[in-house]
Amino acid sequence: MYYKNSNNIASEGQYVNNKKDGVWRWWYDDDQHTLRFEEHYVDGKEDGILREWYNNDQHTLRFEGHYVDGKKDGTWRWWYNNEQHTLKSEDHYVNGKLNGVWRWWYDNDQQTTGIPQGESLRHTEGIPQGEGLHHTLKSEGYYVDGKRHGHWIEFNVNGNIISNIVYVNGIEQR
């Protein structure tokens, strides 16, 4: 355990053979002793879920992701620090590299034509689906082996396309 000047525990975890191992936790230095981070280690490498929480009244998640053998792997999500706790961005990693769809949403909830938070604004034919309370997609693109690849589209707050740039192996096509 590590203590800050306030006598609150700042972090807690164990070492095995001088390497971090198991669950490690870090706290905010506040009166409530609020949990800030929680991550998992195996043989000194991050391995498992990593979470960080906002220091707010609801103690909502700031982000969540997963590591395998010290490298980001799987879906990573970030949330806004607002009353609705709306999704901010989502990306995917394979063996430490961005791979797959990457999305970023505006910090808004509004009545609009579109599709629900956490899903793409584009359908396979490029037609928005559904109506109701939606979180507007700001931008969306794809990564292949850590490089931008394919269409990178940016939307305005009404869901209209304002830019569409095509990349091949990380190089913008003109």
Q: What is the pLDDT of residue 133?
A: 42
pTM comes to 0.80
Q: pLDDT tens digit string along 4-48? A: 666 778 899 999 999 999 999 999 988 888 999 999 999 999 999
What is the C-alpha separation between 47 and 73, in angstroms, rounded?
A: 10
| Residues paired with 90 in a beta bridge | 77, 103
Alpha-carbon distances of 69 from 4, 22, 49, 66, 95, rounded to whole Å: 30, 13, 12, 10, 9
Query: Smallest Cα–Cα separation from 168: which of 149, 145, 155, 153?
Result: 149
